[in-house]
């Protein structure tokens, strides 16, 4: 019978610990249960259900999923908690559905290092980040790190004191990571021994192989099927934008070259070698009737003098060739030109040709000494031979011929498809079995598009980062699904719109030429893709270090390493930085040492949407953008990051509070809102200003919740444009029906709509804004300040009332002045006018009764003429005094009538040119009087001295001035010889200067004379009258005195 040592029970870190390694675990747990407390066995750290194989208590669902909480773990129940289908060693856990997934694993007996080991994979979604933490029993953090895809990830908490309860915690911080094989161990504190059997990264070089599409050189088949001289350069030149913000065309930096020329290919080879591309994989076409588009390789590459700098290989592009160049899906008449299915005889020709012409070339790419030969469409290959067995025999025959040629064997690679993107494309079923049956050596991909990287739910655009995550999830599954190596692929872009007909409908996707266009594919985003792939290749010691890139020159599909004007050499620079430069090794091979994703420029841009703005853009424009988002009740916020920029300036509001301002669109502004956000509805408002030309806003808000959920707000059409004049719009929680949706101006990394320049094409500067804290009460929010402000407002109101009273007084005095003028006009007309008329009639009657023998009739005739002159003068006075004539239109009519009457008794013909839309604006008495007298002087001088036969009077408005021109065709005079003291010219100049006008006289002998009067039409500002109300009565008295003086003056044209 075994004797148990007596247990020692003591309290440590808030829980019962039971010491003694001979104490059975069941005894310790039983004693703790009797005490009603949680117990741990001191010195033993153990993870319960670390491989998630115990599905007890979980509810099975579709596609291998289980809902609930895994046994032994604590967190939030999730619908998709554990999956038993998509991993190498099922089942595996999905922490993104389980919140703060944690487990108490024991208590340390002595001071030690705690080593946590686990596997992370991308099988559910790509580009995942999992946060792992080691905590003590009080939830204090002992160690923490962010981890990407990889096996045997390790986190170490060092020098943890004895008696510490150990809790392990996992949280999904990006995408949907898969967690498996969790274990924990202890080691001597400060030990430098390896934490676990974690494979370390190796420094083996990575081969970068870019696909080469040979479609930009002449070919007889092009001539036959399209027109003589056609190449796909013609589509690139004619490309056009298909929707707002679409960047097309994209001209090449090197021009539209013929790639079949050796000197042209030599330029491509040199660039590839200089920037880190090790091999070209040529899309090689061979149908039953022979090769197609082979001159780029046969005439260009093989004859280039520097072809030893870059390896080359063949990918047999055995797909059906349809006439898709310039195709409109609406026509529904796609024509098959060359079937991809070949006869066994053609296959034999292919085998013999590639061995003789290509495999034996010193620059052909060998993998482990074997020529690399890739097959694009395996379904066509199987159809060519009728069965898998026959296809295997055909490959074995090919392998035998290669060995007979002196090679150790043939490396047969196949392009694996998930989603075909060409007409006629098919995905053969059962790839894992097919790899074994055909004895394939490796798999790879041609483009991410084959693996669901195009999001048609966001048509006509698809986000590059979203597509990358879809592809990385596929790659994670490929590592376990296939028994042979899979070479990862990096895609640059996808935009095959140049192949679509000019009139193709882009309102919905329609294959093969109308698809979503990838946006956000900047060189920085591509570089990030390369960094992720490099890191994961180096972390897998058994994985061949080979990467394929789509593509060197897929111009018709928009995916090109070759320099284009949009980004220049940006994509090549990305390859060089990651695979050649020392700075390219900036991602540590150990994920424990990686910087957090949010600290990098590329990850910041990943959370941005496209450029948005109002529907119309103009200079000096203010655009008010508004949006809202909701944080669930009782949610706990772990991090909230906002990244944005505006072309040109912005003020950012959160719930009506100003968070910050920016005025440099080339820089990203990074705000930490973690302390500001609480559960509930929040309002985002951005007041933007555009000084000139293009305008737009980039915006991205990411809120990470403690339960693993993520809330994102990006610049998109969910934003609303707030019209000017809406009060407190930055605080409104609901949009008004009339607020239009924002317009997507251009994708991130695209070009500006107006001038075509690049928007944020390369990594820029990140401005970290000051850390924001919850709102504090400032002095202007205090009671005393608000009372003072109200008092000040009252004082302003009193002053305003006084000013309004003065304004009313001014208006009243103005009305009195007008009444006085009208009275004077009536009295002159009714009294003096009647008497003068009677005087003329009496003189006429007296003259008729006298004989002509005396001088008395002459004297009476003189009296009548003088009386008529006085009547004319009186008419002018009445016109000037009458307030109903104080308009510019009345002045113009009177002057024209006067000129015609004045010149009617002379030999001078009067021509009038008057602006048809002359204004009815007020024209004050001083201006009318001075200008009229100056015009009379000019007319009088023309009659006296010009000897003209024609006089032209022009009246028009120019901006805020009235211009009157008097031009005659008389004898003219020498302006320099005229006496400056001459009364007529002096009077005109003086009259104009008194009213702020200008008089100019231009004449030459024999060329007539031109007199121009110009006066300002702007009235005196009203505020001058308000501040000096006493001037009103003074001006009124002056006007009355002027009228009295005018009645006493003689009829002298120069003294009105």
- What's the CATH code of the domain at 70? 2.60.120.260
For 904-937, the pLDDT digits (tens) are 988 999 999 998 877 777 788 788 888 998 999 9
User: Among candidates 938, 960, 961, which has minimal Cα distance to 951?
Assistant: 938
Distance CA 851, CA 869 (A): 25
Q: What is the mean pLDDT of the chain?
A: 83
Mean pLDDT in residue range 258-272: 97
Distance CA 749, CA 696 (A): 12
Distance CA 734, CA 211 (A): 51
Q: Point out which residues pair with 651 in neighbouring strands.
A: 661, 687
Q: Give 831's pLDDT tier (boundaries 50, 70, 90).
A: low
Number of neighbouring beta carbons within 10 Å of residue 679? 14
Distance CA 209, CA 367 (A): 12
**760 and 793, same domain (yes or no):** no
Length of the chain: 1056
Angle between helices 1031-1047 and 856-881 (to 10 degrees): 170
- What's the CATH code of the domain at 919? 3.30.565.10
Residue 1048 counted as domain residue? no
Residue 36 counted as domain residue? no
Classify the phi-psi angles of 106: left when phi > 0, otherwise alpha if psi is within -120 to 50, otherwise beta: left
Distance CA 617, CA 1038 (A): 54
Q: Point out which residues pair with 559 in neighbouring strands.
A: 554
Distance CA 285, CA 834 (A): 112
Q: Give 184's pLDDT tier (boundaries 50, 70, 90).
A: very high
Q: 192 and 532 in contact (C-beta within 8 Å)? A: no
SS3 for 359-405, per residue? HCCCCECEECCEEEEEECCHHHHHHHHCCHHHHHHHHHHHHHHHHHC
**460 and 544, same domain (yes or no):** yes
Mean pLDDT in residue range 521-531: 93
> Residue 632 above 90 pLDDT?
yes
Residue 916 counted as domain residue? yes
Note the pLDDT of residue 29: 46
For 540-559, the pLDDT digits (tens) are 878 899 999 999 999 999 99
Distance CA 361, CA 353 (A): 12
Distance CA 286, CA 818 (A): 100
User: Among candidates 469, 704, 526, 715, which has minimal Cα distance to 608?
Assistant: 715
**Domain final position from 839, 858, 885:** 885
User: Among candidates 315, 320, 314, which has minimal Cα distance to 287?
Assistant: 320
State the DSSP code for 62: G
Note the pLDDT of residue 821: 65
Q: Residue 497's Cα: distance from chain center in Å?
A: 21
Distance CA 251, CA 233 (A): 10
Q: 629 and 673 in contact (C-beta within 8 Å)? A: no
**581 and 620, same domain (yes or no):** no
**611 and 638, same domain (yes or no):** yes
Q: Which CA distances in Å does 244 have to 28, 648, 690, 745, 753? A: 70, 20, 19, 6, 8
| Stronger pLDDT, 967 or 29, i.e. the higher one | 967
Q: Point out which residues pair with 209 in neighbouring strands.
A: 279, 548
Residue 507 counted as domain residue? yes
Distance CA 718, CA 706 (A): 26
State the DSSP code for 772: P
Residue 20 counted as domain residue? no
**699 and 553, same domain (yes or no):** no
User: Among candidates 515, 768, 782, which has minimal Cα distance to 662?
Assistant: 768
Q: Which CA distances in Å does 619 have to 695, 750, 763, 967? A: 9, 21, 27, 43
Helical ranges in 245-387 per DSSP H: 262-275, 295, 344-353, 378-385
Q: 680 and 640 in contact (C-beta within 8 Å)? A: no
Helical ranges in 714-782 per DSSP H: none
**790 and 734, same domain (yes or no):** no
Instruction: Give the Cα-Cα-Cα angle 406, 411, 414 (nearest 5 degrees).
Output: 150
**555 and 575, same domain (yes or no):** yes
Instruction: Give the Cα-Cα-Cα angle 1018, 1020, 1024 (nearest 5 degrees).
Output: 155
725 CB burial (10 A radius; 0-12, 13-18, 19+) = exposed
Q: What values do phi and psi take at 849, rounded to 5?
A: -90, -10
| Pick from 187-191, 192-196, 290-294: least confident | 192-196
Mean pLDDT in residue range 585-607: 43
**947 and 801, same domain (yes or no):** no
Note the pLDDT of residue 746: 85
Q: 352 and 358 in contact (C-beta within 8 Å)? A: no
Residue 1047 counted as domain residue? no
Note the pLDDT of residue 447: 96
Instruction: Give the Cα-Cα-Cα angle 608, 613, 616 (nearest 5 degrees).
Output: 155
User: Among candidates 391, 415, 395, which has minimal Cα distance to 403?
Assistant: 395
Instruction: Using a pLDDT cut of 70, give the percent of the chain over it.
Output: 78
**526 and 554, same domain (yes or no):** yes
Q: 1001 and 985 in contact (C-beta within 8 Å)? A: yes
820 CB burial (10 A radius; 0-12, 13-18, 19+) = middle
Return all residues near 451 (Cβ < 8 A) that are at least 6 apart. 418, 419, 445, 470, 471, 474
| Stronger pLDDT, 767 or 528, i.e. the higher one | 528
Note the pLDDT of residue 842: 67
CA atoms within 13 A on the CB side of 920: 1
Note the pLDDT of residue 704: 87
State the DSSP code for 308: G
User: Among candidates 318, 405, 346, which has minimal Cα distance to 370?
Assistant: 405
- What's the CATH code of the domain at 397? 3.20.20.80
Q: Residue 556's Cα: distance from chain center in Å?
A: 24
Return all residues near 734 (Cβ < 8 A) that are at least 6 apart. 628
Mean pLDDT in residue range 822-830: 64
**360 and 469, same domain (yes or no):** yes
**Domain final position from 752, 771, 790:** 771
Distance CA 992, CA 1003 (A): 19
Q: Point out which residues pair with 746 in neighbouring strands.
A: 611
Distance CA 841, CA 29 (A): 140
Q: What values do phi and psi take at 831, rounded to 5?
A: -100, -70
Distance CA 372, CA 392 (A): 17
> Residue 20 above 50 pLDDT?
no
Helical ranges in 10-107 per DSSP H: 25-35
Handedness of CA 1020, 1023, 1024, 1026 (dihedral sign): positive
**Domain final position from 747, 771, 795:** 771
Strands 1009-1016 and 961-968, sheet pairing: antiparallel
Distance CA 27, CA 697 (A): 66
User: Among candidates 748, 760, 433, which has minimal Cα distance to 612?
Assistant: 748
Taking the model in full, what pTM does it have?
A: 0.53
Distance CA 172, CA 99 (A): 8
Distance CA 772, CA 777 (A): 14
> Residue 391 above 90 pLDDT?
yes
Q: Which CA distances in Å does 923 have to 201, 296, 647, 914, 1018? A: 90, 81, 47, 17, 10
Number of neighbouring beta carbons within 10 Å of residue 896? 16
- Domain encompassing residue 964: 887-1019
Number of neighbouring beta carbons within 10 Å of residue 856? 13
First to last CA, the chain: 143
Distance CA 674, CA 705 (A): 10
**529 and 635, same domain (yes or no):** no
- Number of domains within the chain: 5
Q: Which CA distances in Å does 568 have to 15, 279, 809, 945? A: 64, 21, 72, 76
Q: Give 954's pLDDT tier (boundaries 50, 70, 90).
A: very high
For 90-142, the pLDDT digits (tens) are 899 999 888 889 999 999 999 999 999 999 988 887 778 899 999 998 889 99
| Pick from 190-199, 226-235, 663-672, 789-798: least confident | 190-199
**754 and 783, same domain (yes or no):** no
Note the pLDDT of residue 215: 96
20 CB burial (10 A radius; 0-12, 13-18, 19+) = middle
Mean pLDDT in residue range 386-398: 96
> Residue 198 above 50 pLDDT?
no
Distance CA 649, CA 626 (A): 16
Instruction: Give the Cα-Cα-Cα angle 385, 389, 395 (nearest 5 degrees).
Output: 70
Q: Give 432's pLDDT tier (boundaries 50, 70, 90).
A: confident
Residue 427 counted as domain residue? no
Residue 540 counted as domain residue? yes
């Amino acid at each position: 019978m075994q004797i148990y040592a007596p247990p020692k029970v003591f309290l440590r870190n808030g829980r019962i610990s039971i010491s003694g390694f001979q104490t059975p675990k069941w005894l310790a747990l039983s004693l703790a249960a009797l005490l009603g407390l949680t117990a741990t066995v001191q010195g033993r750290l153990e993870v319960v259900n670390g491989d998630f194989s115990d599905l007890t208590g979980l509810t099975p669902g579709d596609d291998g999923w289980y809902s609930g909480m895994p046994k032994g773990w604590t967190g939030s129940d999730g619908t998709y908690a554990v999956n038993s289908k998509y991993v190498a060693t099922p089942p595996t856990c999905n922490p993104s559905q389980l919140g703060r997934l944690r487990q108490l694993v024991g208590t340390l007996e002595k001071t030690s290092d705690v080593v946590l080991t686990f596997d992370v994979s991308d099988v559910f979604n790509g580009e995942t980040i999992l946060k792992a933490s080691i905590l003590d029993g009080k939830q204090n953090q002992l160690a923490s790190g962010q981890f990407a895809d990889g096996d045997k990830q390790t986190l170490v908490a060092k020098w943890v004191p004895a008696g510490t309860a150990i809790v392990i915690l996992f949280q999904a911080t990006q995408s949907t990571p898969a967690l498996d094989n969790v274990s924990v161990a202890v080691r001597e504190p400060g030990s430098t021994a390896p934490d676990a059997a974690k494979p370390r990264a190796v420094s083996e070089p990575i081969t970068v192989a870019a696909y080469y599409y040979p479609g930009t050189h002449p070919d007889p088949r092009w001539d036959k099927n399209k027109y003589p001289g056609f190449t796909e350069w013609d589509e690139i030149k004619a490309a056009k934008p298909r929707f707002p913000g679409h960047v097309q065309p994209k001209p090449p930096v090197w021009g539209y070259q013929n790639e079949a020329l050796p000197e042209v290919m030599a330029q491509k080879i040199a660039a590839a070698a200089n920037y880190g591309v090790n091999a070209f994989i040529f899309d090689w076409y061979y149908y039953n009737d022979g090769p197609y588009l082979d001159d780029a390789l046969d005439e260009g590459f093989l004859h280039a003098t520097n072809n030893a700098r870059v390896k080359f290989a063949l990918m047999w592009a055995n797909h059906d060739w349809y006439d898709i160049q310039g195709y409109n899906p609406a026509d529904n008449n796609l024509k098959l030109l060359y079937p991809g299915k070949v006869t066994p005889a053609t296959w034999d020709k292919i085998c013999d040709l590639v061995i003789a012409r290509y495999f034996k070339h010193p620059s052909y790419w060998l993998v482990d000494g074997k020529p690399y030969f890739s097959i694009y469409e395996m379904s066509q290959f199987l159809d060519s031979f009728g069965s898998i067995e026959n296809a295997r025999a055909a490959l074995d025959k090919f392998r035998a011929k290669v060995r007979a040629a002196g090679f150790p064997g043939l490396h047969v690679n196949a392009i694996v498809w998930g989603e075909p993107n060409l007409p006629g494309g098919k995905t053969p079923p059962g790839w894992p079995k097919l790899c074994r049956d055909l004895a394939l050596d490796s798999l790879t991909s041609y483009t991410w598009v084959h693996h669901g990287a195009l999001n048609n739910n966001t048509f006509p655009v698809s986000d590059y980062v979203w597509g990358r995550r879809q592809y990385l999830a596929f790659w994670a599954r490929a590592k376990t699904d296939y028994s042979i190596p899979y070479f990862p692929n990096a895609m640059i872009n996808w935009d095959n719109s140049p192949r679509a007909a000019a009139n193709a409908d882009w309102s919905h996707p329609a294959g093969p030429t109308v698809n979503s266009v990838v946006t956000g594919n900047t060189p920085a985003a591509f570089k990030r893709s390369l960094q992720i792939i490099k890191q994961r290749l180096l972390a897998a010691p058994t994985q061949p270090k080979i990467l394929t890139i789509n593509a060197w020159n897929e111009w018709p599909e928009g995916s090109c390493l070759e320099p284009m004007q949009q980004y220049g050499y940006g994509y090549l620079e990305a390859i060089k930085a990651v695979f050649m430069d020392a700075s390219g090794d900036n991602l540590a091979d150990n994920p424990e040492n990686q910087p957090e994703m949010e600290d990098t420029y590329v990850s910041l841009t990943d959370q941005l949407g496209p450029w948005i703005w109002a529907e119309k853009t103009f200079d000096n424009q203010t655009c008010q953008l508004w949006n809202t988002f909701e944080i669930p009740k009782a949610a706990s916020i772990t991090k909230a990051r906002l990244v944005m920029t505006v072309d040109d300036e912005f003020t950012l509001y959160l719930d009506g509070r100003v968070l910050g301002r920016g005025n440099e669109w080339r820089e990203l502004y990074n705000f930490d809102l973690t302390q500001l956000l609480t559960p509930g509805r929040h309002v985002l408002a951005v007041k933007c200003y555009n000084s000139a030309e293009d305008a737009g806003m980039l915006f991205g808000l990411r809120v990470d919740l403690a339960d693993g959920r993520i809330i994102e707000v990006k610049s998109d059409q969910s934003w609303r444009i707030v019209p000017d004049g809406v009060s407190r719009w930055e605080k409104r929680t609901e949009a008004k029906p009339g607020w239009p949706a924002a317009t997507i101006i251009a994708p991130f990394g695209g070009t500006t709509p107006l001038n075509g320049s690049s928007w944020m094409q390369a990594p820029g500067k990140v401005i970290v804004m000051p850390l924001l804290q919850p709102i504090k009460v400032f002095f202007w929010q205090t009671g005393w300040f608000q009372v003072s402000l109200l008092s000040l407002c009252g004082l302003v109101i009193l002053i305003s009332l006084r000013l309004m009273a003065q304004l009313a007084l001014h208006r009243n005095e103005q009305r009195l002045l007008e009444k006085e003028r009208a009275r004077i006009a009536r009295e002159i007309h009714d009294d003096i006018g009647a008497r003068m008329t009677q005087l003329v009639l009496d003189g006429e009657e007296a003259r008729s009764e006298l004989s002509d023998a005396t001088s008395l009739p002459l004297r009476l005739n003189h009296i009548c003429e003088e009386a008529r002159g006085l009547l004319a003068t009186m008419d002018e006075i009445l016109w000037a005094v009458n307030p109903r004539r104080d308009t510019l239109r009345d002045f113009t009519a009177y002057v024209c009538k006067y000129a015609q009457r004045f010149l009617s008794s002379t030999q001078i013909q009067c021509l009038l040119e008057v602006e048809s839309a002359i204004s009815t604006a007020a024209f004050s008495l001083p201006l009318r009087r001075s200008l009229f007298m100056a015009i009379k002087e000019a007319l009088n001088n023309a009659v006296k001295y010009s000897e003209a036969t024609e006089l032209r009077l022009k009246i028009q408005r120019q901006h805020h001035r009235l211009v009157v021109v008097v031009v005659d065709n008389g004898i003219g005079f020498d302006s320099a010889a005229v006496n400056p003291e001459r009364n007529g010219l002096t009077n005109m100049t003086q009259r104009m200067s008194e009213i702020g006008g200008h008089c100019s006289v231009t004449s030459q002998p024999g060329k007539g004379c031109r007199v121009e009067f110009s006066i300002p039409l702007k009235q005196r500002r009203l505020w001058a009258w308000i501040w000096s109300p006493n001037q009103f009565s003074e001006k009124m008295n002056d006007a009355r005195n002027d009228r009295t003086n005018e009645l006493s003056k003689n009829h002298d044209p120069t003294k009105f």
